[in-house]
């Protein structure tokens, strides 16, 4: 069994790149051969450590001529490497892979990671390649519904596989106090204050401004609030947030820090973890990672959060964009006593372990691979 995953590049920290590396490791652990084609990046090393092989191709390009040229390159790769199945995660390389698979009669699977913008008929057609797989993996029920509504994708082809958390990394027992203290000192957080944290890159739809306004509505100076995430060049938006913090007299309460390389320690530092996205999250990894570490979470009542939070038991949901409602549920989270926090932590960790682990995600993905291959050639693939 040889599986090829295809994506634009391996340099980012998003769900596409992370999911590719995780599934590559699972394929290798199964005893199958794991290949990944991309334009390369910092995560190639992680991929190789996971036992996979990387093939560098210009799959990041959206140039129609490059996309067309990539068809022949992928076709040759499929034939020379004896690839049984191709799994794609992004639109531009998906077009190349789709036609390469058609030419070689190779199994073709897609994962739909987000809603994508639909601004024109051309954009809808461009996006639609992600619904052309023998099976289409949706990373949440919300995305599955979007596929049916926006693209008319047949329900029998869709398989919902939620993203998974690595419970070895996001394990409270394995995050020592030194890591947490070091991070708190780096961020210059004062001792003895409850910490509310909103992780996520600085972009408007992530709702940082809603969070800041909700903190202002709380009217408390005995807390510390941290926005964790890179502005990725959006310096204008960062300055806008800084002005909002100053206008609300929150300079001593709210601070913006850059990208964090030790998110387990960051979550363990927080008393409350907040998602305030004004657009629905396709899944919302932050909410699940925080729950895995036993942190009370607060998130808007739309998108993937509705599937990953049990309202009032593992976290709280609030109407999207409603700063007063967000302030109210943050206050509820802050008001938890020690027994209440322990009860939330136990339920949250149990929910993540049972429904949102990396191992479960991998097992379900490999099951889809088997399903498609055995459907195509029952005799050849009967023992996989």
Give the model's pLDDT for residue 231. Answer: 86
User: 28: burial class by Cβ within 10 Å (0-12, 13-18, 19+)?
Assistant: middle
Give the model's pLDDT for residue 304. Answer: 95
Q: CA 122, 123, 126 angle in degrees (round to 5)? A: 90
Strand ranges inside 182-326, DSSP E: 195-199, 224-228, 254-257, 272-274, 297-300, 315-318
pTM: 0.92
Strand ranges inside 113-180, DSSP E: 135-138, 158-160
pLDDT of 327 above 90? yes
Give the model's pLDDT for residue 232. Answer: 81
pLDDT in tens, 260-303: 989 999 999 999 999 999 999 999 999 999 999 999 999 999 99
Mean pLDDT, rounded, of the chain: 94
Return the closest-CA partner of residue 25 out of 55, 6, 46. 46
Instruction: Identify the bridge partners of residue 199 per DSSP, sorted by sequence position.
Output: 228
**What is the location of CATH 3.40.50.2000 in the chain?**
2-164+358-376, 172-355
Return the closest-CA partner of residue 281 out of 90, 113, 88. 113
Return the closest-CA partner of residue 27 out of 366, 376, 381, 378. 366
Instruction: Identify the bridge partners of residue 112 per DSSP, sorted by sequence position.
Output: 138
Confidence class for position 120, pLDDT limits 50, 70, 90: confident
Q: Which helix (H) or strand (E) holds 109?
A: strand 107-112
User: 203: burial class by Cβ within 10 Å (0-12, 13-18, 19+)?
Assistant: middle
Give the model's pLDDT for residue 190. Answer: 85
pLDDT of 76 above 80? yes
Return the closest-CA partner of residue 131 out of 107, 161, 99, 154. 154
- Radius of gyration (Cα) for the chain, nearest Å? 22
pLDDT of 326 above 80? yes
Instruction: Looking at the structure, give the CATH architecture of the domain made up of residues 172-355.
Output: 3-Layer(aba) Sandwich (3.40)
Cα 162 from Cα 185, distance rounded (Å)? 35
Q: Which helix (H) or strand (E) holds 35?
A: strand 33-38
Return the closest-CA partner of residue 111 out of 210, 1, 3. 3
**DSSP string computed for 207-241:** -HHHHHHHHHHHT-SS-EEEEE---TT-HHHHHHH
pLDDT of 13 above 80? no
- What letter does residue 131 receive in the DSSP assignment? G
Other beta carbons within 10 Å of 162:
21
Homologous superfamily, domain 2-164+358-376: Glycogen Phosphorylase B; (3.40.50.2000)
**Start-to-end CA span in the chain (Å):** 8
User: 235: burial class by Cβ within 10 Å (0-12, 13-18, 19+)?
Assistant: exposed
Tell me the average pLDDT across 221-229. Answer: 95
Cα 318 from Cα 316, distance rounded (Å)? 7
pLDDT in tens, 184-221: 999 999 888 999 999 999 999 999 999 999 999 999 99
């Amino acid at each position: 069994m040889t599986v090829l995953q295809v994506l634009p590049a391996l340099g980012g920290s998003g769900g596409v790149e992370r999911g590719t590396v995780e599934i590559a490791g699972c394929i290798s652990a199964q005893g199958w051969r794991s290949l990944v084609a991309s334009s390369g990046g910092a995560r190639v090393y992680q991929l190789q450590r996971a036992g996979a092989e990387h093939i560098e191709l210009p799959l990041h390009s959206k140039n129609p001529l490059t996309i067309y040229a990539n068809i022949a390159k992928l076709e040759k790769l499929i034939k020379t490497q004896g690839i049984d199945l191709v799994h794609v995660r992004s639109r531009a390389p998906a077009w190349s892979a789709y036609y390469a698979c058609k030419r070689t009669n190779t199994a073709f699977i897609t994962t739909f990671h987000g809603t994508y913008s639909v601004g024109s008929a051309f954009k809808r057609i461009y996006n639609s390649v992600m619904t052309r797989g023998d099976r289409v993996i949706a990373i949440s029920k919300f995305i599955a519904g979007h596929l049916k509504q926006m693209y008319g994708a047949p329900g029998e082809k869709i398989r919902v596989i939620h993203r998974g958390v690595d419970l070895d990394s996001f394990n409270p027992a394995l995050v020592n106090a030194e890591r947490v203290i070091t991070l708190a000192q780096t961020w210059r957080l004062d001792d003895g204050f409850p910490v509310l944290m909103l992780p996520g890159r600085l972009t408007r739809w992530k709702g940082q401004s809603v969070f800041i306004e909700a903190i202002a509505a709380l009217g408390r100076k005995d807390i510390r609030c941290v926005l964790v995430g890179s502005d990725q060049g959006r310096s204008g938006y960062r300055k806008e947030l800084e002005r909002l913090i100053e206008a609300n007299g929150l300079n001593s309460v709210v601070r913006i820090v850059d990208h964090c390389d030790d998110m387990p320690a960051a979550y363990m530092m927080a008393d409350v973890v907040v998602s305030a996205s004004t657009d629905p999250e396709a899944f919302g990894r932050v909410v699940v990672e925080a729950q895995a570490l036993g942190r009370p979470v607060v998130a808007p009542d739309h998108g993937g959060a509705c599937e990953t939070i049990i309202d009032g038991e593992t976290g709280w949901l609030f109407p999207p964009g409603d700063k007063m409602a967000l302030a109210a549920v943050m206050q509820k989270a802050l008001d938890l006593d020690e027994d209440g926090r322990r009860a939330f932590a136990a339920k949250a960790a149990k929910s993540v372990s049972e429904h949102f682990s990396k191992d479960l995600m991998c097992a379900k993905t490999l099951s889809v691979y088997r399903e498609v291959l055995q459907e195509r050639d029952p005799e050849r693939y009967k023992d996989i």
